[in-house]
Structure 1
Amino acid sequence: MALDLHAASFGDAAEAYARGRPSYPAEAVAWAVPAAARRVLDLGAGTGKLTRVLLDAGFQVDAVEPSAQMRDQLAVSAGQASLFEGTGESIPLPDASVDAAVCAQAWHWVDPARAVPEVARVLGPGGTLALIWNIRDHDEPWVAALDDVLHRHTRQEIDTAPPIGGPFEEPERAEFRWRHPLNRDSLLDMVASRSYVILLPEPQRRALFDSVLGLLDRHGVGDEFEMPYLTRCTRARLR
């Protein structure tokens, strides 16, 4: 139940999510999605961070997202995609209707026992499932210190190299380093869009934001800066 509560909370911060969360590097998407694919499922599309990259790469995109507020943002950022209400366990698409499925920053919210066969159902023969996560790069001391501050309230351990199994072949893995430009306001939006922060009482939220700004001051981080990321990708082909 707690996991469902956290997963459902994102709609309350959809605008902050759209402003503060990073996109995904094109080279990671090129690795994750076969160039021969035509129609791609963006599962758990959120506000369209990945959807926009898929569209720019020339794919036809079916974007599936459970939150109405997130879909509102998605319609603005990636309106050329076909938008659907749905989840990883219940995808509102016909059998064998897509060439590839990508789930970015969302696979840890699904039940793999139900989602894996459901994704396999909508994939055509030999289709690819790709899982993508952006992880902040702790090689920079201020980024490591930031995560220490963010994890005072909760620490969610995400497996960014999960097994897939079922009707899929053994997964392949890749990692991409890149940097995302931010300013202080958009960093606070990123913090505000985290599921546990959305659920905090307002005094605790404000104290957390003050701690983040104080950390930037102590580490000499200016008003505009770059967040270093590792984008970790998994892909597996349907047998």
Structure 2
Amino acid sequence: MYDDARPGYPPDLTTAIVSYLDRPLETVAEIGAGTGHGTAVLAGLGAPITCVEPDRRMAAILAARHPEVTVVVAPFERWSPPPGGVSLLACAMAWHWLDPATRARRAFDALTQGGTLAVFGHRYAYADPTHDAAIGAAFRSVDGDRPQPPARPDDWARDDIAASGLFSDVTLVSVAREVPMTTAAYLRLVRTFGPFRARSPREQRAVLDALAGTLDGLGGGTVLDLRTNLTLARRAVAA
């Protein structure tokens, strides 16, 4: 479901990474690679790729989708980078799952001197404010006054990486696009999000029913205002 439901990444990301690089790439590693949506961005860089993914089911889909890459089934924390590190370390929609106290340091240690860190992911919103309000009301009809997790700002990964003091030339590139979704496609997308999956089966059914009724009333779907944010940083000196 995750593989089919999540939007892919725009080709602009590959272009942005290439423009940022100041030397030829020799090796690329992707951590938390999932089923390979982010891997498609990296495939255009023309260097050997190692994908590190802890979930065996996702890793199997990734290997089938990208037979040209080397897949390692392990969490980032237990993966051993090659001696001397990799030229580029990438992380798509998984940086927030890593330990905030150690993720920047582990990324630094996995890179060659002068190597590049690329962290990217989507920020989901709605093109029509009316849809935004209606979908929010559908969630609240089930949640009531339950506190909602705050949305991460577009620049949160950039600020997190810059605050580590381990990287230079920390840069944020944002690509905005509108993605139409039918009611069925949107419900598949919602099923992949962590807060939804943490609900009880009864609550999940109630949320899906509320959203289906709302989206059908809005014409049978919605249009996502999808912003993809790419943070690039360079390991400049030993630390």
TM norm structure 2: 0.81
Distance 2:231 2:114 in 1: 16
Structure 1 residues 188 and 129: alpha-carbon distance in aligned structure 2, compared to 1, 3 A threshold:
same
Q: Secondary structure of the equivalent of 1:132?
A: strand
Distance 2:159 2:179 in 1: 25
Which letter maps to 1:25? P
User: More deviation in 48-57 or 148-157?
Assistant: 148-157
Whether the 8 Å contact between 1:136 and 1:230 is mirrored in structure 2 is yes
Distance 2:61 2:6 in 1: 13
Q: What's the offset of the Cα at 1:28?
A: 2.1
The percent of aligned pairs where both chains have the same amino acid is 27
Deviations along 1:47-94, whole A, 9 cap, x unmatched? 111112222443421111111121122122222211112333333322
Whether the 8 Å contact between 1:37 and 1:59 is mirrored in structure 2 is yes
Which residue of 223, 226, 237 maps to 2:234? 237
Whether the 8 Å contact between 2:3 and 2:35 is mirrored in structure 1 is yes
1:66 aligned to 2:66?
Answer: no
Which residue of 9, 29, 39 maps to 1:41? 29
Q: Secondary structure of the equivalent of 1:93?
A: coil
1:28 aligned to 2:13?
Answer: yes
User: More deviation in 19-28 or 74-83?
Assistant: 74-83
Q: What's the offset of the Cα at 1:106?
A: 0.9
Distance 1:60 1:148 in 2: 47
The aligned residue for residue 98 of structure 1 is: 86
Whether the 8 Å contact between 2:126 and 2:224 is mirrored in structure 1 is no
Distance 2:73 2:139 in 1: 31
Q: What's the offset of the Cα at 1:234?
A: 1.1
Q: What's the offset of the Cα at 1:205?
A: 1.0
The aligned residue for residue 213 of structure 1 is: 212
Unaligned runs of 5+ residues in structure 1 are: 1-15
Write out aligned runs for 1:1-239 (5 A).
Answer: 16-32=1-17, 34=20, 36-141=24-129, 142-143=131-132, 145-146=134-135, 149=138, 152=143, 154-158=148-152, 159-164=156-161, 165-222=164-221, 226-239=223-236
Q: What's the offset of the Cα at 1:115?
A: 2.0
Q: What's the offset of the Cα at 1:156?
A: 4.8
Unaligned runs of 5+ residues in structure 2 are: none
Which protein shows a greater Rg? 2
TM norm structure 1: 0.81
Distance 2:139 2:27 in 1: 37
Distance 1:57 1:170 in 2: 20
Q: Secondary structure of the equivalent of 1:163?
A: helix
Which letter maps to 2:11? A
* Number of corresponding residues: 222
